[in-house]
Structure 1
Amino acid sequence: MTKTTLSLSEPRQRGEALHLLRRVIAENGREHLAGYAVAALCLVVVALTTAFMAWVMRDVIDEIFVAGNRAMLFTLPFAIFFAFFLRGIASYGQGVILARIGNDVVARYQRRLFAHLTELSVDFFGETRSAQLAARINQNVSGIRDTLNLTVTSLARDLLTLIFLIFAMIWQDWALSLIALTAGPPIAIMISRLSRKLRKATRQSIDLNSRVLGSMQEAAQGIQVVKAFTMEKLLRARTDDLIEKAEERSNRIAIITERSGPITETVAGIAVAAVIAWSGYRSIVYGYSPGSMFAFITALLLAYDPARRLAKLQVQMERALVNAKMIYEILDEAPRQADAPDAKPLSVAGGEIRFDAVTFGYHAEEPVLRELSFTAPPGRTTALVGASGGGKSTIIALIERFYDTASGRILIDGTDIATVTKHSLRSAIAYVPQSPVLFEGSIRDNIRFGRPEASDAEVEDAARKAQAEEFILTQPLGYETPVGENGVTLSGGQRQRLSIARALLRDAPILLLDEATSALDTRSEVLVQRALETAMRDRTVIVVAHRLSTIVGADQILVVDRGRIAESGTHQELLTRPNGLYARLHGFQGGADASQTIETETLP
């Protein structure tokens, strides 16, 4: 049963490999056609000069050593020198050209991968560990380059060299050539079997190595938590286990890859020994020319290297194609929140946001929102409160269209956001997440991400409104100070104020605040709250809050409970309902002194 399954899958796997090879060549061949043509020409020169070395040996032996022809003492050595010179120049040319093309191919796929990753939906990154994804891309991206370079060098150098040398061998002695070529079929059969075993082992090795690198990256990013919870020993044990498995797979690949060596050398040794014995016998017994025999043996020995490389080509190509295939698996991942074919730009007049019977769940069997409906009036502030896990942050994510609803509609000024382009939708929204995110670059760069065309004066004005300038100016380089990886050199409150400054700079008609003041101390919260009150004027604002003190002045407060709107009204209206959820939340937080955070317990 296993043999039958393997035999049926082999043609399919070969077909997939050929399809992948054609795709790699189609996507890159035309772009670098001229470069590959020049490199191929250089490789042809290498092949011709190699064959010439074997060809000229007959005259070297017969004319110089046997016949004693002094005229050839200059001609033949100069010809050999010139052949080596040409070969050196051609080898240098093809090496530089293929390296430049390979580097360009890697750079193009890195740019293409990053562009594609930025287009993929948020749920893709929720299902894929970012550290492992980065490690996998880093390992696999060279597979495209290796596939192309192996194809060119194998066809233009090794195959042509072997063909030219075989032609020289046949020209010298066809009978000896038949003896030498008997080594080919058994080596080809053995390599074909090894390549099938290598395919699976290579895939496993790449996955394990990406997990190792991902584990190291995660530990580096969360080193404070690692040390605070004394997780060093536990993480070392987990990573050591992954490293041990990766090492075992790598050793397995080495065993499979190098297994061809002893067999190839043995079979080739038998062929070469047979040729030498037979040619020596004929030379001694029948007086055959020693020049012809020496030229034939030289051609045979020179043919061994390209033949050995071609024998290993399938093994090397398997490894390169596995890497290339894993890159294409990412590139072929389709964005799940793609724009509709007839999507149009969103035009925001007032900024009214309306949820119409929206149902959504991150998993189909576990809905987070259930037939949820509400309207956020234009130019007003709507606050979402409730216990953690009730769906507040999910509402924010759906407005940004990070996810698509299972049913129902979300409308902005009466337009279904599923019918407009994501770019125009998100361009009309300023967003402050619960956990501030900063990127590589300076403080000024991170604020300017809100509106790249903004002037320095506008950036600094946004920082002042977000109460961030006071700490920015104390930094070593002021606005030009690098923030470090995800703002590691700044406090949580400082990072949050920069995140708020970025949103203020965007100057969008819709402002979404997901616990925007959660990381601020009391003084900063008061200052930022004043800045936000100014920024929220004449904008549609939806704010998620746990501390009720931050949303007392909201025009509308919606209490979200188990995916539905349980209550709505102003702060004073909701307090008049003594048994209402909002009143109880208010009581949990100490009444008027609402300074504590609601715990993650489900509301009674």
Structure 2
Amino acid sequence: MDDRHDQERPAVSTASNREVMRRIFIENGREHLKGYIFAISCLVVMALTTAFVAWIMESVISTAFVHPDPNKVWLICGSIFVAFLMRGLATYGQSVTLSKIGNNIVASYQRRIYEKLMKLSVGFYNASRSSHLAAQINQNVTGIRDVLNMTVTSLARDVLTLVALLGVMVTKDPMLTVIIFVTAPPLIYAIRYVGDRLRTATRESIELNSHVLGAMQETVQGIAIVKAFTMEQELGNRLNRVIGEAESRANRIARLSERTAPLTEGFAGLVISGVLAYAAYQSIYGHVPPGAFFSFVTALLMAYDPARRLARLQSQLERAVVNARMIYELLDMPTQQQDRPGAQDLKISEARIELRGVSFAYPGSDAVLKSVDLVAEGGKTTALVGPSGAGKSTIIALIPRFYDPSEGQILIDGQDIATVTKASLRRHIAYVSQQPYLFEGTIRDNIRYGRPEASDAEVEEAARLAHAHDFILAQPQGYDTPVGENGVTLSGGQRQRLSIARALVRNAPILLLDEATSALDTASEAAVQKALEEAMKHRTVVVIAHRLSTVINADKIVAMQDGRVIEEGTHESLSKRANGLYARLHSLQGPDGAAMTETETQGA
């Protein structure tokens, strides 16, 4: 078996934090360069004005208290006011700019993720929990924005502010500044140690939280089944266990993240108290004017906030980079079913479908199809019948390339569908699945998804053919009635008829019906079947039906069992075969055409 239908899997990234951050800046830096330059300019203004306030404190003390000079006092007070005003305007400018850039980055990656999800195969979604996937994406998509914003603000605001304030401190008292620098390395080492431990805990926490959100979403989507089978207690117990694990991991992250607080606070308290003691000693016993010391202490106190933010930066970046890395794992996931180089558009003449020696197995399972040879003649109806697990639905899934066969070929009008573009292949196919799915929007919107350019008249004609027009008009707003999430406001039969109408409005030469009438009652099924017979004319139709009475008039009936074609022919010829599979299946159905039970079909 080859790997043409292997499922895509997100490979755990081994890229270092530096590599992930480098990629983030390469992908986003140039596009938002002007915005970042403006934001950085504002942050530089904030840093310089902060340092200016600390620097001018010596003049404040000297001109106001030691050597009073009213003229200079007014000038100094005015300059302080201007500094704070400039700082306020710069704060506003950088906040709005970075928020705008961040929102644009989030929107951009949301589009990229959606585009990637549309390229992944059906096999990927069968192997992934959709609720878990959605929750994980929702949690992680902001990581890239946070990496950029935190890096820019830290470098342009906190680092510059700290450097500027350290410059003030050096000019006021070089010896004290050197002493502070000498005592800092142990603090930096401790913070790095915490950051390394935080990285693993953060990833585990994201995984657990995505499981919690996914389980909640899954319960909401299946609430009717939950209540019908009184599953509340069992699901609640399972969710409580996951929530407990997530809570424990979140508490561990909190302990690791906040471990920097006592380190930085203790260090800051030691330094500030020592500086104040030294300043008091010099003023009392050395008769040194207090202005320089006051300016130094002001710079030291103002440097505390940017230093504290920088101390916490690594732990915050660890979280953001973990989030970003998980998004990149999804974006970098290989797409298995890509169009081959030089793939041409499918050209339809008769719409004849042929399977040559087709074998297929889902990953981790035994073969579902075994060297199947089958022809669906153009413009005619071919019905697939057989017990559950015979491979009928798999054939329906292979024709539009939801999966690729492990062996053999599928040809349409002599063209191997593996060599044509998927878009052109699927444009010529209308598909109705066993489980109808409706999207948020109106009834008209859901039918028109089959062909977006269809006119209102064509939409309504398709609804008439699907026996849906009358119940649509009975809705509060007719064709403009919102259907709710997955058509929750409609019955199963109504949803199926809209699904059929969506396929009919596509007006494609190939029509695939995977038990398309399974959700209808007998009366509605008879009406829809009659409408489908009209819609099937001049089309190539491959149909699976749970009631054999609905395929009696098919041009060809193919009976399948255990992944093989056992017999084929018309209803008349197959029903006369003594001990034939189709004859046995037909005999198991009552006069009203009721579907076979699972036990009966497996024993047939």
TM-score band by shorter chain is over 0.9
* Aligned mates of 1:297, 1:566 — CA distance in 2: 92
Amino acid at match of 2:558: L
Q: Which residue of 1 aligns with 2:598?
A: 599
Q: In the TM superposition, what whole-angstrom CA distance separates every residue of 1:484-515 from its partner, at most 9, and x where no partner exists?
A: 11001100100000000000000001000000
Q: Which residue of 2 aligns with 1:141?
A: 141
Residues 42 and 90, structure 1, Cα contact 8 Å, conserved in 2? yes
Residues 356 and 372, structure 2, Cα contact 8 Å, conserved in 1? yes
Amino acid at match of 2:45: V
TM-score (norm 1): 0.96
- Indicate how the Cα distance of structure 1 residues 446 and 119 shifts in structure 2: closer, same or farther if over 3 A, else same: same
Q: Which residue of 1 aligns with 2:8?
A: none
CA displacement at 1:448 relative to structure 2 = 0.1
CA displacement at 1:286 relative to structure 2 = 2.6
Q: Which residue of 1 aligns with 2:104?
A: 104
Q: Which residue of 2 aligns with 1:328?
A: 328
CA displacement at 1:284 relative to structure 2 = 2.7
Q: Which residue of 2 aligns with 1:381?
A: 381
- Indicate how the Cα distance of structure 1 residues 451 and 13 shifts in structure 2: closer, same or farther if over 3 A, else same: closer
CA displacement at 1:532 relative to structure 2 = 0.7
Q: Which residue of 1 aligns with 2:7?
A: none
Q: In the TM superposition, what whole-angstrom CA distance separates every residue of 1:143-178 from its partner, at most 9, and x where no partner exists?
A: 111111001100100000001011111111110101
Secondary structure class of the residue paired with 2:602: coil
Q: Which residue of 1 aligns with 2:442?
A: 442
CA displacement at 1:295 relative to structure 2 = 0.5
Secondary structure class of the residue paired with 1:375: strand
Residues 358 and 372, structure 2, Cα contact 8 Å, conserved in 1? yes
Q: Which residue of 2 aligns with 1:70?
A: 70
Q: In the TM superposition, what whole-angstrom CA distance separates every residue of 1:441-494 from its partner, at most 9, and x where no partner exists?
A: 000000000000011111011101111011000000000000011001100100
Q: Which residue of 2 aligns with 1:182?
A: 182
CA displacement at 1:26 relative to structure 2 = 1.1
Amino acid at match of 1:594: G
Gaps of 5+ in 1: 1-11
* Aligned mates of 1:491, 1:53 — CA distance in 2: 70
* Aligned mates of 1:602, 1:183 — CA distance in 2: 79
Residues 428 and 510, structure 2, Cα contact 8 Å, conserved in 1? yes
Secondary structure class of the residue paired with 1:513: strand
Q: Which residue of 2 aligns with 1:3?
A: none
Q: Which residue of 1 aligns with 2:515?
A: 515
* Aligned mates of 1:194, 1:466 — CA distance in 2: 64
Residues 13 and 325, structure 2, Cα contact 8 Å, conserved in 1? no
Secondary structure class of the residue paired with 2:92: helix
Q: In the TM superposition, what whole-angstrom CA distance separates every residue of 1:414-465 from its partner, at most 9, and x where no partner exists?
A: 1110001110000110000000000000000000000000111110111011
Q: Which residue of 2 aligns with 1:84?
A: 84
CA displacement at 1:576 relative to structure 2 = 1.1
* Aligned mates of 1:224, 1:316 — CA distance in 2: 41
Q: Which residue of 2 aligns with 1:372?
A: 372
Secondary structure class of the residue paired with 1:250: helix
Amino acid at match of 2:144: I
Secondary structure class of the residue paired with 2:300: helix
Secondary structure class of the residue paired with 2:56: helix
Residues 359 and 367, structure 1, Cα contact 8 Å, conserved in 2? yes
Secondary structure class of the residue paired with 1:71: helix
- Corresponding pairs, count: 592
Alignment of 1:45-64 (within 5 A): 45-64=45-64
Alignment of 1:425-440 (within 5 A): 425-440=425-440
Q: Which residue of 2 aligns with 1:411?
A: 411
Amino acid at match of 1:274: G
Amino acid at match of 1:186: P
Q: Which residue of 1 aligns with 2:205?
A: 205
Residues 382 and 541, structure 1, Cα contact 8 Å, conserved in 2? yes
* Aligned mates of 2:157, 2:345 — CA distance in 1: 54
CA displacement at 1:272 relative to structure 2 = 1.8
Residues 386 and 546, structure 1, Cα contact 8 Å, conserved in 2? no
Structure 1, 248-257 or 107-116: larger mean CA deviation: 107-116
Amino acid at match of 2:86: L
Q: Which residue of 2 aligns with 1:296?
A: 296
TM-score (norm 2): 0.96
Residues 13 and 329, structure 2, Cα contact 8 Å, conserved in 1? no
Residues 357 and 371, structure 1, Cα contact 8 Å, conserved in 2? yes
CA displacement at 1:204 relative to structure 2 = 1.0
Q: Which residue of 2 aligns with 1:32?
A: 32
Alignment of 1:102-251 (within 5 A): 102-251=102-251
CA displacement at 1:598 relative to structure 2 = 4.2
Q: Which residue of 2 aligns with 1:260?
A: 260
CA displacement at 1:51 relative to structure 2 = 0.3
Q: Which residue of 2 aligns with 1:502?
A: 502
* Aligned mates of 1:451, 1:14 — CA distance in 2: 44
CA displacement at 1:603 relative to structure 2 = 4.1
* Aligned mates of 2:409, 2:14 — CA distance in 1: 47
- Indicate how the Cα distance of structure 1 residues 15 and 347 shifts in structure 2: closer, same or farther if over 3 A, else same: closer
Q: Which residue of 1 aligns with 2:550?
A: 550
Secondary structure class of the residue paired with 1:159: helix
* Aligned mates of 1:300, 1:49 — CA distance in 2: 15
Residues 183 and 268, structure 1, Cα contact 8 Å, conserved in 2? no
Amino acid at match of 1:25: F
Q: Which residue of 2 aligns with 1:9?
A: none
CA displacement at 1:519 relative to structure 2 = 0.6
Amino acid at match of 1:97: T
CA displacement at 1:341 relative to structure 2 = 1.3
Q: In the TM superposition, what whole-angstrom CA distance separates every residue of 1:263-317 from its partner, at most 9, and x where no partner exists?
A: 1111222122222222332333333221111101111111111011111111100
Amino acid at match of 1:489: T
CA displacement at 1:523 relative to structure 2 = 1.1
Secondary structure class of the residue paired with 1:22: helix
- Indicate how the Cα distance of structure 1 residues 314 and 496 shifts in structure 2: closer, same or farther if over 3 A, else same: same
CA displacement at 1:363 relative to structure 2 = 2.2
Residues 358 and 405, structure 1, Cα contact 8 Å, conserved in 2? yes
Residues 42 and 93, structure 1, Cα contact 8 Å, conserved in 2? yes
CA displacement at 1:13 relative to structure 2 = 9.6
* Aligned mates of 2:500, 2:374 — CA distance in 1: 26
* Aligned mates of 1:91, 1:182 — CA distance in 2: 33
* Aligned mates of 1:135, 1:482 — CA distance in 2: 26
Q: Which residue of 2 aligns with 1:5?
A: none
* Aligned mates of 1:410, 1:519 — CA distance in 2: 30
Alignment of 1:573-584 (within 5 A): 573-584=573-584
Amino acid at match of 1:431: Y
Residues 588 and 598, structure 1, Cα contact 8 Å, conserved in 2? no
CA displacement at 1:549 relative to structure 2 = 0.5
* Aligned mates of 1:14, 1:377 — CA distance in 2: 51
- Indicate how the Cα distance of structure 1 residues 244 and 421 shifts in structure 2: closer, same or farther if over 3 A, else same: same
CA displacement at 1:404 relative to structure 2 = 1.1
Q: In the TM superposition, what whole-angstrom CA distance separates every residue of 1:243-271 from its partner, at most 9, and x where no partner exists?
A: 11111111111000001111111122212
Amino acid at match of 2:554: A
Secondary structure class of the residue paired with 2:557: strand
Q: Which residue of 1 aligns with 2:9?
A: none
CA displacement at 1:183 relative to structure 2 = 3.7
Residues 63 and 73, structure 2, Cα contact 8 Å, conserved in 1? no
CA displacement at 1:365 relative to structure 2 = 5.2
* Aligned mates of 2:519, 2:208 — CA distance in 1: 37
* Aligned mates of 1:307, 1:338 — CA distance in 2: 50
* Aligned mates of 1:522, 1:128 — CA distance in 2: 36
Please report the RMSD computed on the Cα atoms of aligned residues, expressed in angstroms. 1.4
Secondary structure class of the residue paired with 2:546: coil
Gaps of 5+ in 2: 1-11
CA displacement at 1:364 relative to structure 2 = 5.3
Amino acid at match of 2:136: R
Amino acid at match of 1:521: D
Secondary structure class of the residue paired with 2:596: coil
* Aligned mates of 1:573, 1:593 — CA distance in 2: 21
Secondary structure class of the residue paired with 1:602: helix
Amino acid at match of 1:45: V
